[in-house]
Amino acid sequence: MRDLKIPQERHPEKAHRPDNAQPKKPDWIRVKAPSGKGYSETRAIMREHKLVTVCEEAGCPNAGECWSQGHATMMIMGDICTRGCTFCNIATGRPDTLDAFEPGRVADAVQKLGLNHVVITSVDRDDLGDGGAEHFAQTIRAVRHRNPDTTIEILTPDFLKADAGALETVVAAKPDVFNHNLETVPGLYPEVRPGARYFHSLRLLQRVKEIDPGIFTKSGIMVGLGEDRQSVVQVMDDMRAADIDFLTIGQYLQPTPKHHAVDRFVHPDEFAAYEKSAYGKGFLMVSATPLTRSSYHAGDDFARLRDARERMLGRA
């Protein structure tokens, strides 16, 4: 596998953390190195529009495959996050002021990439009163205005510290899919997601469905952080109780020695067992493989998700 050379000085906030050895990856985690015309074109469009992508910021292992097809997940509101999750490769600090022209540039980039389905995410912006909700809504509206046939998936922060009404602002812009990741099991939150609250995140997704039942809800966790299987199954039950449609489960990969240690590499058979169990619990759509990420194959999965709902409603 390509080794992502991520400078550690990027994470001064994690300098106090002990070094955790990065174990050798197993054979089943092999990815294509980023290269080729499609990859270069996607990269050029991101640079031309001065857009940040989570693919690059997080050092995603799927970048070679996704970008060769033009599938980049744009990350709005800058590249500095106000949270310090121990698994995450995004830098923590004081973010820049919002760029009012960014929604238009995202819309232009979606058009240039010719996307049928786009995934837009952001850093956490606890420094803003609305947590960035209005900027998300403006971006959704700009993308839809310029690309009326493109379906829009958003992957949002938790708006834990935002003013009342922030979530409603985003939902009112009518994304096709509202994704917010639980990231891990509740017992690991103090170590892995110290600034977040498990039941707040669950409730956020439940409220999206209550406000607008037409929006698909989606959430995911990483495995290999130290969770046990029973806790994973419990998270699935919690998600179904919150009416979440689409579950993603992928292997945690450690960005640098300063990040949370990989506890284990989960075998593909265990992922298959999670997938089977999740479908049994009633999720409309499940993606559970070592390389599953929130936005991996999101366009194809959206089409399947829509078909699954039509079947469930007896309309197909």
Task: Please say which residue, 60 or 305, places its beta carbon nearer to ligand SF4.
Answer: 60
Please name the amino acid found at residue 232: V
3-state secondary structure of 149: coil
Task: Please say which residue, 169 or 181, places its beta carbon nearer to ligand SF4.
Answer: 181
Is residue 85 marked as binding? yes
> What is the nearest approach in angstroms of ligand SF4 to the Cβ of residue 148?
22
Question: Where on the phi/psi map is residue 291: left (φ > 0), alpha (ψ -120 to 50), or beta?
Answer: alpha
Please name the amino acid found at residue 212: D
> What is the nearest approach in angstroms of ligand SF4 to the Cβ of residue 62?
4
Q: Tell me the CA distances in angstroms from 81 to 123, 179, 233, one per residue in order.
A: 5, 18, 30
Is residue 55 marked as binding? yes
Is residue 81 marked as binding? yes
> What is the nearest approach in angstroms of ligand SF4 to the Cβ of residue 112?
16
Q: How far apart are CA 153 and CA 134, in angstroms?
A: 16
Cβ neighbors of 50 (< 8 A, separation 6 or more) are 105
Task: Give strand ranges (E) for the chain.
Answer: 52-53, 74-76, 80-81, 91-92, 117-122, 151-155, 177-179, 216-223, 246-251, 285-288
* Residue 72 CB burial class (10 angstroms; 0-12, 13-18, ≥19): buried
- Tell me which DSSP letter residue 284 carries: S
For residue 199, what is the enclosing H or E element?
A: helix 198-211
Task: Please say which residue, 138 or 181, places its beta carbon nearer to ligand SF4.
Answer: 181
Task: Please say which residue, 71 or 258, places its beta carbon nearer to ligand SF4.
Answer: 71
> What is the nearest approach in angstroms of ligand SF4 to the Cβ of residue 295?
3
Is residue 66 marked as binding? yes
Is residue 40 marked as binding? no
Task: Please say which residue, 289 or 295, places its beta carbon nearer to ligand SF4.
Answer: 295
Q: Give the footprint of ligand SF4 on this chain (CB under 6 A).
A: 54-55, 60, 62-63, 66, 71, 73, 293, 295-296
Task: Please say which residue, 26 or 70, places its beta carbon nearer to ligand SF4.
Answer: 70
Is residue 35 marked as binding? no
DSSP per residue over 21-84, as a string?
--PPPPTT---PPS-SHHHHHHHHHHHHTT-EEHHHHTT-TTHHHHHHTT---EEES-SEES--
> What is the nearest approach in angstroms of ligand SF4 to the Cβ of residue 283?
20
Provide the 10 A C-beta neighbour count for residue 140: 23
> What is the nearest approach in angstroms of ligand SF4 to the Cβ of residue 63?
4
> What is the nearest approach in angstroms of ligand SF4 to the Cβ of residue 55?
3
Task: Please say which residue, 41 or 212, places its beta carbon nearer to ligand SF4.
Answer: 41
Q: Tell me the CA distances in angstroms from 185 to 4, 57, 227, 228, one per residue in order.
A: 27, 24, 7, 9
Q: Which residues are annotated as a binding site?
A: 55, 60, 66, 81, 85, 88, 295
Q: Which residues are annotated as a binding site for [4Fe-4S] cluster?
A: 55, 60, 66, 81, 85, 88, 295
